[in-house]
Structure 1
Amino acid sequence: MSGRPRKGRPVAFAPITPERSQPDPVLGLKFTIEARHGGTVLVDMTGLDPRPLAIAFAGALRRSAALGGPIGAASVIKQYVQVYRHFFAWLGDDAPEVTGVNDLRAVHIDGFASALERRGMGAIHRHITVGKVINTLRAIEADRPDRIAPDLHERLRYTLATSAGRSTPRDAYSPFVARALRDAARADIEAMLRRLGADDRTDEGDPVVARARADVEAIIARQGFIVADQPALKRLYFMRMRRGLPISTLIDDLHGRHHLLARDLPALLVLLTLDTGLEPECLKTLTVDCLTNPHAGTVELRYLKRRARGAEHKSMRVRDGGSGTPGGLMRRLIDVTAVAREHLTDDCLWLYHNVGGLRAGIVDPKFQLAAWARRHGIAGDDGKPLHLLLSRLRKTHKALWYTKTEGHMARFAVGHTREVAARHYADLPSLRPLHEAAVADAFRAAVAAAMPTVLPPTAEQALREAPEQVASLMSADTVGPVLDGEQDVWLAACAGFHSSPFAEPGSPCAQPFWGCLDCPNAVITARKLPAILAFLAFVEEQRCSLPASDWAAKFGRVHTRITVQVLPVFSDAVIAEARRQMGSERLYLPPEARA
């Protein structure tokens, strides 16, 4: 071998002709879809007519719910089927000539949207409903483009010609309600943790009942649960009934030492939502490996947010420690569900006993949440029983965090862009008083910044004795000349004639003489009261000769400044003395007062 590489040869591949996608083979209208989230869904569209159109819609739905399709949740599949029923019912009433996809036109989509509007459906709900029909027809077009009419093809480019508008965000609960919810949840969780694994001494006083109970406990330990018609449980049930012992919660009492119960879920969901602010749908799908990377009293919580297309896998850091922290509570949940996990091969965090056996995952806890709130007697701010929603608990967490961060969006916008955080979580009715107070404070600060320094005689004397008090306004060596009148202008003494906020630095102030009343450089003492009172008398005389609008535009703010913010600082005796001086002295107004 020469040691040099051999010259290569170009590689040529045989041409490949891609296979044409086959039309969807769905022929029936009753089938099941295995959703990626939420389990199996039975789809029954047998009642939809016309049948050819229903078959096309059914095929599009199945393709959209397949792996890689846009529909992943069982609940969304059910929503699509419900929209189909409304759409087909409208077609049967208003467009009976439609028998298949080929007969659909743009006018049918617009007619359906108009019918929804006439029924009173809101703009956002209408967009969502029509959007499901549009999405289905787009899926049909992707499979069989030849079945879509040209005008319908153009119509599928958009959902509706009108805007959906802006939704009204759910409001947060008040801090008072949040405290009541948090206290009730913590009390229930503490009782739950004491119950799990506790020694059973319920029937130790009666050996016969104790043996029957031990038999039931052994079955639960072996199988994970016991059903109501099992002989061992029936025997224990009737033994307790004949002896007058409690039997209404017997099944929960038996399983409660081994597993979480369905009634434990509301307290756990409420506390974790308030402490973490996690989305309810994300909280319900947590897995046993959700905690990772503990560091400095915190732990990383990993969760799945399905509606964040392209960025579904997310994480946040939460406090970690004892069971009073989110991380510590989740660790306890992982521990106490370990027994149930031996019988259910599921990595879901939420394993619990419900009627008839062990369950994995949380489907719809609204009834359990309502019962839990009633059991604790939790009322809203209006005094009525609280309608508890997990989504409002998330808003409550965000509102409390917003208050804690004092509205700094860089700290507040966790897991969102600043725009989304501001629109959906900061602009809440419950936070409106906070925003209004902030605006009012800003106006007060602006007014205070434009206010002259008004010094009654006592404050003037204190300033002479300690001139460093006004270092932010003037230097200490300037205090004496200002108070002695060496820097007087017509209505006040000026602490910065060449540093006016109304002119370039270094240039003299060009404001009219009553502009001193809106200048932070002005210092008003009792010595200037005669001139101010003379000007006030002139202003009030002008009210008689000028139209009200002209007088308000020229003198309204000045009049309010003198009567509301300057004169009340001085005592009646000082003002009376100033009026006496004004009467005995001849005070001339500058020419611009009459301009």
Structure 2
Amino acid sequence: MAGWQSFLAEAFAWRTGPSGGLRTLTSAQRCWDFIVQWTYFLQDLGQRASRPEILSERHVQALFDDESGTDLGRYALTTALRSLFAHEQLAGRIPEAAMSALNRTIPKPRQAPVGGYSTGEWDRLTAAARADTARIARRIRAGEDLLRRFRTASSELSIEDRARGEVLDTVASTGVVPAYNGLPSAQERRDLAAQLFLTWRDVAPILVLLGIASGRNGETLKELPAKHRRLDDRAVELEVIKRRRGPRRWFQTVTWEIGPPNRELHTAGGTYLLLLELTQRSRDMCGSSAALCFWRNGHRAGIAATKDEHWAPFEQSLGLANDINPTKWARVRTPALRADAAEDGREPPFLQVNFNRIKTITDARRTKQMGGHLPSAAKTNTMQVLFTSYLAADEPTRDWAEEVMAEALVDAERAALQAHQAALQSRGGAPTVIPGPVSAELLREAGLDEEAASGLAGGELDTAWTACADHDQHPVTKTACEDSFLDCLHCGNCLVTREHLPRLVALADALLKRREQMNELAWWKRYGPAWVAVKRDILAKFDPAEIAAARAQQPPHDALLDLVEAAWERP
């Protein structure tokens, strides 16, 4: 596709330039991969678009229809091409019809979110990470203590400790761990280095613990800076990197609690300061500003027995994250971490540990602490991302949310019933319900005089859904009633006969429809008392045959509910 090469080179230059939005080598390489994928796609088309100027809507549609890859792959390629071709310096180079087709909104394929851990798995993971981090700290602090005693009072040491202190003094001064001529195996080199420096195998438990304490994702933890500010020895303030937020929105200042000295492994600030302590010597050797610096065996890289074995790997590439492998750490440690026991009695599998699952459970726990209030719980992501990527897939969180909602609905229903009963007490009691055919005898038994009985029988006392025995004499104010027609359902002046049933059944259906359009708790607060009155105090006093007959006669749509409420109050 020689006709595209100049255009794509220019587009790539703009996309990776100062105003292009791509800020890392990894994102630039990803963009380059999309360019290669696009040219191969064009080449494989039957009627090729050999130049940008002749790209048509048909060619773009062929990309949408291509079934050789996955839906997510096509979505990613389309999004990348849209960003590549959108620069103002390239305007007009792609035909308008093709750009319109490329800019078409397409839904992003949903990826299955990663679930978290059960309570037992989480407790075991936290305890293991904390125990291994404490063991690492004791090991390096013991080496530092021996080195200090060798430098200040070597004569007081045993012959063995003096010999080991001499080796550690040389290693600490030069940063060089002796090569194989003095040590017969790579394992012995690692064991020597581990007395003063962090090593590869130490990284997993420390980062896992830091993820548990801070609630940050793995990328952010790998790029933590060493630069920080202590706030009265109670907290540390530092600037972290949160990728995928768009240009100029990567950096965020966070404050982490330190906690008391004996609780350093229970707080994000305490664990962070411990990490800085354990990596200080390697940081001095490699001159990095990153918090995560350590010693690695440089035999394969040809740098064994040099200062270059100290490095900050994630300054070069986050792709080295696979070398951490927290699942392997969970499997090889003693005792190994396993998932919850299976119901069939088989031995449970090893626990799968990754930073996405850790962040899922930390977000879920914080959401629970906030009572499920997503605006307060959304600490490092938007509410939408928090729910779709972290909370929705976590089964314990879903179970908890369902339990909370069930309890809330019970409380809302109870509150609606109490509000209805309180209204009845203040408004002269429950509505008067006259089941069966309306007769003069039944009306007299209901306490109505001849005039009221005649008006009720003739429909002259009807309101929206029921009838009113005395509209001019409110039970509370003793004046003309000005309440909403929904309040009639809680009033002692309310009269209900079989003739009102079709409208009341329609009202019940309308209230149920509102329930589908509103928040459940808001519905109970607003319409719950009316619903309770209709279902418990009115319809329950008619037999099922009367209700069935009324349902056959009810109007197709209850417009009265819309009429009795102000337009701005409708859902």
Q: Same fold (TM over 0.5)?
A: yes
2:356 matched to 1:372? Answer: no
Q: 1:284: how far off?
A: 1.4
Residue 410 (structure 2) aligns with: 444
Change (3 A) 1:59 1:251: farther
Tell me if the contact between 1:95 and 1:108 (Cα under 8 Å) persists in the aligned partners.
Answer: no
- Corresponding residue number in structure 1 for 2:492: 508
Does the 8 Å CA contact 1:284/1:350 hold for their aligned counterparts? yes
Kindly indicate whether residue 118 of structure 2 is the aligned counterpart of residue 174 of structure 1. yes
Residue number in structure 2 paired with 1:236: 182
* Letter of the structure 1 residue corresponding to residue 494 of structure 2: A
Which residue is 2:21 aligned to? Answer: 70
Structure 2 stretches of 5 or more lacking a match? 147-156, 299-308, 343-347, 430-445, 448-473, 477-482, 499-503, 505-528, 554-571
The answer for the alignment partner of 2:398 in structure 1 is 432
1: CA distance, partners of 2:143 / 2:313: 28
* C-alpha distance 148-411 of structure 1, shift in aligned 2 (>3 A): closer
Equivalent residue letter for 1:436: E
CA distance in 2, matches of 1:316, 1:395: 19
Letter of the 1:372 counterpart: W
Question: How many Å separate the matches in 1 of 2:191 and 2:423?
Answer: 72
**Preserved contact between residue 294 and residue 311 of structure 2 (Cα < 8 Å):** yes
> Structure 1 length as normaliser, TM-score?
0.61
Written as runs of structure 1 = structure 2, the 5 A alignment for 1:260-299 is 260-289=198-227, 291-292=228-229, 294=231, 297-299=234-236
Q: 343, 346, 356: which is aligned to 1:391? A: 356
Note closer, same or farther for the CA distance 1:301–1:505 as it changes in structure 2 (3 Å cut).
Answer: farther
Write out aligned runs for 1:114-513 (5 A). Answer: 114-115=65-66, 118-119=67-68, 121-122=70-71, 124-139=72-87, 142-145=88-91, 147-156=93-102, 158=103, 160-164=104-108, 168-199=112-143, 217=168, 220-226=171-177, 232-238=178-184, 247=185, 249-289=187-227, 291-292=228-229, 294=231, 297-309=234-246, 310-321=248-259, 322=261, 323-324=264-265, 325-356=267-298, 357-362=309-314, 363=318, 364-367=320-323, 368-376=325-333, 377-381=336-340, 383-430=348-395, 431-449=397-415, 503=487, 507-508=491-492, 510=494, 512=496
Corresponding letter in the other structure for 1:164: K
- 1:452, distance to aligned residue in structure 2 (A): 8.6
CA distance in 2, matches of 1:350, 1:281: 12
Give the number of the structure whose alpha-carbon radius of gyration is greater: 1
Q: Which amino acid aligns with 1:358?
A: H
SS of the residue aligned with 1:300? strand
Output the aligned Cα RMSD: 4.4
Shift of 1:107: 2.6
Identity of matched residues, %: 19
SS in 2 for 1:306: coil
Assess, with a 3 A threshold, how the Cα gap between structure 1 residues 259 and 66 changes in structure 2: closer, same or farther. Answer: farther
Report if aligned partners of 1:276, 1:326 keep a CA contact under 8 Å in 2: yes
- Paired with 1:120 and 1:312, the residues of 2 have a C-alpha distance of 31
Per-residue deviation, 1:196: 0.8
Question: Contact 1:286 / 1:304 at 8 angstroms: preserved in 2?
Answer: yes
Q: CA deviation at 1:511?
A: 6.3
Provide the C-alpha distance between the structure 2 equivalents of 1:408 and 1:553, rounded to a whole number of angstroms: 44
CA contact (8 A) 1:288 1:347 kept: yes
Question: 1:260–1:352: 8 Å Cα contact kept in structure 2?
Answer: yes
- Partners of 1:182 and 1:406 in 2: how far apart? 23
Q: Does the CA-based 8 Å contact 1:280-1:391 persist in structure 2?
A: yes
Q: Is the 2:487–2:530 contact (alpha carbons within 8 Å) kept by the matching residues of 1?
A: no
State the SS of the aligned residue for 1:278: coil
Is this contact kept in 2: 1:398–1:425, CA < 8 A?
yes
Relative to its length, the structure with more helix (as a share) is 2
Cα offset, 1:271, TM superposition: 1.1
- The amino acid across from 2:237 in the alignment is E
TM-score with structure 2 setting the length: 0.64
Structure with the bigger RCO (C-alpha within 8 Å, sep 6+) is: 2
List aligned pairs for 1:26-45, cutoff 5 A. Answer: none
Q: How many residues align?
A: 434
3-state DSSP of counterpart to 1:233: coil
Contact 2:115–2:393 (CA<8 Å) still a contact in 1? yes
Q: 2:312 is aligned with what amino acid?
A: A
CA deviation map 1:243-299 (0-9, x unaligned): xxxx5621221111221111111112111111111132222111111x335258333
- Preserved contact between residue 259 and residue 339 of structure 1 (Cα < 8 Å): yes
Cα separation, 2, equivalents of 1:380 and 1:55: 54
Q: Deviations over 1:503-542 (max 9, x none)?
A: 359952526599999869xx99xxxxxxxxxx99x97xx5
Q: Which runs of 4+ in 1 moved over 6 A?
A: 204-207, 470-475, 499-502, 513-520, 551-554
Question: C-alpha displacement at 1:128, in angstroms?
Answer: 1.7
Instruction: Give the partner amino acid of 1:378.
Output: L
Q: What are structure 1's unaligned runs of at least 5 residues?
A: 1-49, 227-231, 239-246, 454-469, 479-488, 491-496, 525-534, 555-595
Q: Which amino acid aligns with 1:441?
A: E
- Give the AA of the match of 2:116: A
